[in-house]
Structure 1
């Protein structure tokens, strides 16, 4: 006998045994003939055969095949979820909540369990006339109408295993008499599909985020490399030309200028081992630059440094301080008759580091009424762009008027290392 017919025959046999037991009890009582029981059995047999074939057709539509595992009223499935326990539990709970008509969802996160009920939709007209009430009674008699869902998650190393059980609320012996029309098979298939879909969506989102992050990182590195590589070419030409002249008339000063130029270039060339510099390194670079200019400008240029030793080891992006120093010379002191002074200051609070370059040059305006624009050139634009790429909104550059004249430019950075705890806090000479 083929499996579908054996499935229906077992249920007919169960109902037949039930009617025989009831008929024997009835026959022992002083009651009328048992012929009505035989008629009722024929009616029940017709229902059993009809609902049995309906159940088999629905199972075949859902699963594509009919066997002992797919036709069972009670379905159990183990689903591997390639996520950590917390993420896997969220996926599992969301998949169960998505079931149609699901109710009484109970989420037990501590024990990694989800419980729910999924009643079978009642036909229209429930509770109406006697035919509807009779249909509902027969439906409850021959079909399982209420189902429960129990899902348990077992965490692993980077993956989790979910055991999902979908079954009728009635006891197991009722399965001999009633069918669920594939309701529990449909529920467990829906849960499996929902978990697979959600895991796939997470994987696609992670891949898209990783791709976007990699692209943004490459773009950021390229921008930072381009901005870092900008060394003022005119300064190099002028310094070498000045050194060439000094070699004829004042060789010691020429030698001193070339020594400062070597120090400046050594600290200005891009490095491949790290992207960040330190306050001390940037200060030495700026000092080498200013010493070269002092040899060229003579007493027209004065330099004042006020940087505490415990700040020298703090990290900061390279070339930013140098850009502010170059702007102070180019736009503030060189155009001013008689020159002036450049101040380099550093202060730190609990969460911020402030580096200031100030001058007493011509400032934002000139005595003849013309205007000097400061902060709109490529140098300060590059500083702002590098701050944005490196720190986001946590850093800023401010350019304000100095008192009584000149300009003060301040870079404010978030502190990654408390003052006094960074490397490179060796003693340095200020002058």
Structure 2
């Protein structure tokens, strides 16, 4: 109540001084100055309209802001808004928020200097105003507001200084009110920025959730493929071992030893956990040794993987998939068999792991469905992003060479830095 009375009293005193000055000038006019009643009536009418206008301003500000204080009552509003984006994105955000205001005009946007100016026409909040343009509360200015926004760049975010004020000079605040329109504009822009930041965060969260879902689906597909392929290989190996126990027990024992090694590397691991090149190489070599017993001299294996690269993180089964492809689609269809090469090299920040064969190469008959290679590419994309790749090219003079390109260390988990900030 005290703040409301003080506000009305301030405006009334300012207008009283204007009325007294006008009365002094009137009294100095010859003949007319002797008539005091016109000035008394004009003064009383002016003060009545001023008090009424100030009271109306108080009521509307309380309706809009829900409170009466110095900040809400002021004709000129200032906001300092922190936006968790870089300066260019923050400027685009404030520019879009200002352009969405109703009755916006003359938007001047300078992205290089990170400044924005605009004019806003005031709404006619009330159908009729006493005395219309002769009402003293409508003097000294035009019914327009202006907006000035400046973006200050920061290290990881930007700060926006927002000013909403009448178009008239500051001295008119002693005599005029804006009916809370600048408070409305400042709050509307702040809400629009908050809504857009929240929408951006939701989109990022949804994108992260979608990526996680895609990863889960890929792992599920790989698990299904693994479940389909592994039993088939297991049954064939056991059947071969059973036959060898009758004719060549030593080779049967060797085959079962390699099978145990293969299962030791296969069964305990989970498809959603990272393995290493060394562990995956042991699994692949156990698989190849079993096939060497089954295929005999038709299969030759050459491995060139330096010890210092065997700790390279690698998704489970990706190397195994390439080795199985080399056998099934390259060497098994050939009567004379062939050779499988497994080679790894590091160049700068990339580890290249190549599985090559000298089999039939790219042919429609033995090309397969491509599901295995598709799963490998998808897993590399989800884990490494643009830093992981799979290339499959023709080997010279025959066969196919498939190369995995991965970083020597795991990339950071997406979203960890954002949560830390």
Q: Distance in 2 between matches of 1:400 and 1:160?
A: 52
Where does 1:298-377 land on structure 2 (aligned, <5 Å)? 298-350=296-348, 352-363=350-361, 372-376=365-369
Confirm whether residue 191 of structure 1 aligns to residue 194 of structure 2.
no
Query: Structure 2 CA distance, aligned partners of 1:106 and 1:364?
Result: 58
Larger CA Rg, structure 1 vs 2: 1
Counterpart of 2:390 in structure 1 is 396
Over 3 Å counting, the alpha-carbon distance change for 1:52 and 1:400 in structure 2 is farther
Gapped regions of structure 2 (runs ≥ 5): 125-131, 411-421
Q: What is the aligned partner in structure 2 of residue 39 from structure 1?
A: 38
What is the root-mean-square deviation of aligned Cα atoms in Å? 4.9
Change (3 A) 1:259 1:36: farther
Q: Is the 8 A contact 1:363 1:372 kept in 2?
A: no
Residues 267-326 of structure 1, C-alpha deviations (whole Å, 9 max, x = no match): 223524973333332222222122222223332322222334443333333223323333
Q: Distance in 2 between matches of 1:43 and 1:197?
A: 50
SS of the residue 1:304 aligns to: strand
- Is 1:412 paired with 2:404? yes
Residue in 1 that maps onto 2:418: none
> Does the 8 A contact of 1:227 with 1:386 survive in 2?
no
Unpaired runs of 5+ residues, structure 1, are 124-133, 366-370, 419-431
- Where do residues 7-86 of structure 1 align in structure 2 (5 Å cutoff)? 11=11, 14-24=14-24, 27=27, 31-35=30-34, 39=38, 42-43=41-42, 45-46=44-45, 49-50=48-49, 53=52, 56-57=55-56, 60=59, 63-64=62-63, 72-74=73-75, 83=84
Tell me how far apart the structure 1 counterparts of residues 243 and 394 of structure 2 sit (CA, whole Å): 38
**Cα distance in 1 between the residues matched to 2:361 and 2:12:** 103
Deviations 1:208-239 (A, max 9, x none): 34443443343344344444555432322222
Alignment of 1:109-148 (within 5 A): 118=119, 135=133, 141=139
CA contact (8 A) 1:102 1:117 kept: yes
Aligned-partner Cα distance in 2 for 1:68–1:37:
39
What is the distance in 1 between the residues matched to 2:84 and 2:245?
71
CA contact (8 A) 2:245 2:252 kept: yes
What is the total number of aligned residue pairs between the two structures? 398
* Distance in 1, Cα, partners of 2:194 & 2:29: 63
Deviation at 1:410, TM superposition (A): 1.0
1:427 aligned residue: none
**Structure 2 residue aligned with 1:255:** 253
Determine if contact 1:52/1:179 at 8 Å carries over to the other structure. Answer: no
TM-score, normalised relative to structure 1: 0.68
Q: State the alpha-carbon separation in 2 of the partners of residues 197 and 36 from structure 1.
A: 62
The question of whether the paired residues in 2 share the 8 Å contact of 1:354 and 1:410 is answered with no
Sort the Cα spacing of 1:267 and 1:88 in 2 relative to 1 into closer, same or farther, 3 A. Answer: same
After TM superposition, the score normalised by the length of structure 2 is 0.70
Q: Cα deviation per residue 1:76-119 (whole Å; 9 max; x = unaligned)?
A: 57788685796878766764565544668799999xx9885757
Q: Distance in 2 between matches of 1:328 and 1:151?
A: 63
Partners of 1:238 and 1:334 in 2: CA distance: 14
Superposition deviation, residue 257 in structure 1: 1.7
